[in-house]
Amino acid sequence: MSVDRETPALDALRAADIRPERQGAARTRHLSAPQRELYFWILREFAAARPPSGEATRAAATGLGIDPAEALAVLAREDLVHVDRNGRPLMAYPFSAKPRGHRVLIDSKHWVEAMCAIDALGIAPMLGVRIEIHSLDPVNAGEVWVRLDPSEGAWWEPQEAVVLSGSACCEGPSFRGCCDVLNFFETRENAERYLAEHGEVSGHPISLSEAIEAGRIVFGDVLREED
């Protein structure tokens, strides 16, 4: 998809301050080949519902012939992976090691946690497998369910569900700006109520179809090797 032609999904990503350099294969453009392989390894560990420990992550980096501390610093600088003081990855977009309220069942096998609604929706195109998302509307705690299958399409309940695309700030990593804002809502009215009650947040509700496309734009080509 050309990023030069405006679409609702691209407009939504702009509202969330997810710039072109954070979309698709461009996310890893500034990584060396071994750093990219470390990132891919971390993502696959999260996808298998086994977020890696600091020790395992350091061992994986060493096995790729790179300095673990330097590699993790680069991944943090590129806003791809963030770790705790022991080097344990806490988040590797689209995944989180801690509960975020967006539970995702991957290929009917593994439950994982996504950082936000767009991240959850990006898991299916990134891995090329079907997923189910279970999330709660932050206004009334109502459940939003989404099923995505790369070969068959998408279904969701309730049919009126939307995603709020926006950000609380435009500086720093995504987890500080947009991840807490990008939520599922049962209705557009709930999303607009959330905006009205959170003056620090800018943004607008988008349809599930637009949110699914936004997830594909951000994560669909992440695991693609460079040509």
pLDDT band at 15 (very low <50, low <70, confident <90, very high): confident
CATH topology of domain 8-18+99-219: Beta-Lactamase (3.30.450)
Residue 171, amino acid: E
pLDDT band at 13 (very low <50, low <70, confident <90, very high): confident
Give yes or no for residue 173 having a pLDDT over 60: no
CA angle, 74 then 50 then 57, to 5°: 35
What's the confidence (pLDDT) of residue 10? Answer: 84
Phi, psi of 44 (to 5 degrees): -70, -35
Per-residue model confidence as pLDDT tens digits over 26-35: 899 999 999 9
CA angle, 46 then 28 then 220, to 5°: 65
Domain boundaries, the chain: 8-18+99-219, 24-96
- The mean predicted confidence, pLDDT, of the chain is 90
Instruction: List, as one string, the DSSP characters of 74-98.
Output: HHHHTTSEEE-TTS-EEEETTEESS
Per-residue model confidence as pLDDT tens digits over 24-63: 888 999 999 999 999 999 999 999 999 999 999 999 999 9
